[in-house]
Amino acid sequence: MAYELYYWDGLQGRGEFVRLALEEAQAPYVDVARGEKKEGLGIGAMMGELESDDPYPPFAPPFLKDGDLIVPQTANILFYLGPKLKLAPRDEDQRIVANGLQLTIADLVTEAHDTHHPIASGLYYEDQKDAAKARSADFIAHRIPKFMRYFERVLAQNPDGPRQMVGNALTYVDLSMFQIVEGLRYAFPKATKHFADHYPHVVALHDAVAKRPNIAAYLASERRLPFNDTGIFRHYPELDRAVR
Amino acid sequence: MAYELYYWDGLQGRGEFVRLALEEAQAPYVDVARGEKKEGLGIGAMMGELESDDPYPPFAPPFLKDGDLIVPQTANILFYLGPKLKLAPRDEDQRIVANGLQLTIADLVTEAHDTHHPIASGLYYEDQKDAAKARSADFIAHRIPKFMRYFERVLAQNPDGPRQMVGNALTYVDLSMFQIVEGLRYAFPKATKHFADHYPHVVALHDAVAKRPNIAAYLASERRLPFNDTGIFRHYPELDRAVR
């Protein structure tokens, strides 16, 4: 049976980390909220799950349905899917390592979101622009380097080599690394201009993922939504600034 | 061998969610950064692990060491420890449910932190007070109710009854629920004054956890640090406001 992915239509957002794993593995899935109402899909189907009085409802999208089981939270979905898609380490301890890395990626994603919404996710960007400028300046000066230096270190210190984050084979963590480099470059083209000089292993990993046949096919397809100003990574030129 | 917990000394912070699980289970553990330098403990020991060139270093505290394995990220530590401490569901699917709930608690914890640090965690509160007031107002008006209504719903919709978040027995998620109620009440006494009326199952769970013998003994011990203005949950009266 196909996996059912539930996420907002019209943006990559957090759902994209799950899509990349499903696409790499060529797993059958339905992107529920992007489907047709007449087929029982669409946003209404997603809202029905969110408001259901079934046990253990999800708090927010993305969530995955696999049969009767509802799996909420991006990192949890990937932890659950990883072994089934052969995108997790075989070793149990390394799966815990992968989960820790994915949660650190999730922290970066939240901080990237909060650069444009530092006061309230329910308010417009225009109503929190001054705070967004201040938060973005700190994000560019301190947080991007802290996270990226760390990921570079993880790759450099991997005993199996710097071509993947954990162990000796591709995992969902590597796919997510591709997405954060892609997202940061879209949102902050000036600040990320010299990424390849500062974080060579990270950028090499990004490039290698982009060339994988299933990922390349996905990125060229209509299933891959473009970045835009409703997602996590948004390009507001006034928030970007050059970094040496 | 005792578990080694690594977290900043002097505050409850994210480490507290792990301490509550270890204390409930009466598991042997060393709170490394709070130990004596002459015993090889203290902040230096923690910094050594953070800066190590070993494989898979942690990004930030808290992290746990169990033998050679380093487990970073609060929710990941609890997911790892849960079965060993008999504080996780036996059923594999329910463990995924528990992890999803814990990650939603983690999101609330991050938002609670950002009420006093909406611009930059590296700046003083006093330097971001106006933004903190705006973010706290939104947190109180919209985010606390959204999270708490959700947790109340999870308890009400648990097929095994509203005395625990998942399944029919105490898990680490319940201990974390105690901590967020405790923390929100400390930080926002006015905003949380009517919690028991609005979220009766949540408050009943909080009260039941507080009465558990191992938790009560821990809370009365010197190992339980008081809330203060260096942790996640901080009481700044100017950020609090009454809610009916």
In a domain, B185, yes or no: yes
**Together in a domain, A78 and A46:** yes
Question: Are A177 and A124 spatial neighbours (Cβ–Cβ below 8 Å)?
Answer: no
> Which residues of chain B does A135 touch, with a Cβ-Cβ cutoff of 8 Å?
118-120
Domain tally, chain B: 2
**pLDDT at residue number A11:** 97
Give the whole-angstrom CA distance, residue B113 versus residue B118: 8
Question: What would the pLDDT profile of B143-164 be if each residue is shown by its tens digit?
Answer: 999 999 999 999 999 999 999 9
Residue that the structure tokens 């746990």 belong to: B64
Do residue A47 and residue A132 come from a single domain?
no
Among B97, B157, B166, beta carbon nearest to A53: B157
Q: Residue A199 corresponds to which tokens in the numbers above?
A: 């974080």
- Mark whether A105 and A156 lie in a shared domain: yes
Chain A residues close to B62, C-beta within 8 Å: none
Q: Look at B123 and A138 and tell me if their CB atoms are within 8 Å.
A: yes
Best A66, A73, A239 residue to mutate vs chain B (most B CBs within 10 Å): A73
**pLDDT of B244 over the 90 cut:** no
Closest C-alpha among B15, B1, B77 to residue B46: B15
Element housing A71 (H / E): strand A69-72
User: Taking chain A, what is the end-to-end CA distance rounded to the nearest angstrom?
Assistant: 50
Read off the pLDDT band of A142 (50, 70, 90).
very high
Degrees (nearest 5) of the Cα angle B138, B175, B200? Answer: 60
Paired residues of A64 in beta bridges: A5, A71
Q: Which of B14, B79, B103, B165 to mutate to test the interface with A (most CBs of A within 10 A)?
A: B103
What ipTM was reported for this prediction?
A: 0.98
Cα separation of A77 and B13, whole Å? Answer: 26
3-state secondary structure of A188: coil
Per the domain annotation, does B221 fall within a domain? no
The stretch B207-235 carries a mean pLDDT of 98
Judge whether A241 and A192 are in contact, CB under 8 Å: no
Does residue B98 belong to any structural domain of this protein? yes
Residues A62 and A104 in one domain: no
As a whole number of angstroms, the longest Cα–Cα distance in chain B is 53
Confidence band for A102, pLDDT divided at 50, 70 and 90: very high
The confidence score (pLDDT) of residue B31 equals 98
- Residue A238 pLDDT level (bands cut at 50, 70, 90): very high
Q: Do B93 and A69 touch (CB under 8 A)?
A: yes
CA distance A229 to A233: 8
> What CATH number is attached to the domain comprising A16?
3.40.30.10
Domain region containing A46: 3-84
Distance CA A186, CA A233 (A): 7
Question: How far is it, in rounded angstroms, from Cα B41 to Cα A154?
Answer: 25
Q: Is there a contact between B1 and B67 (Cβ–Cβ < 8 Å)?
A: yes
| B220 within domain boundaries | no
Q: Would B219 be classed as within a structural domain?
A: no
| Last residue of one domain, picked from the residues B84, B119, B142 | B84
Q: Which of A57, A69, A131 sits opposite B118 (nearest CB)?
A: A131
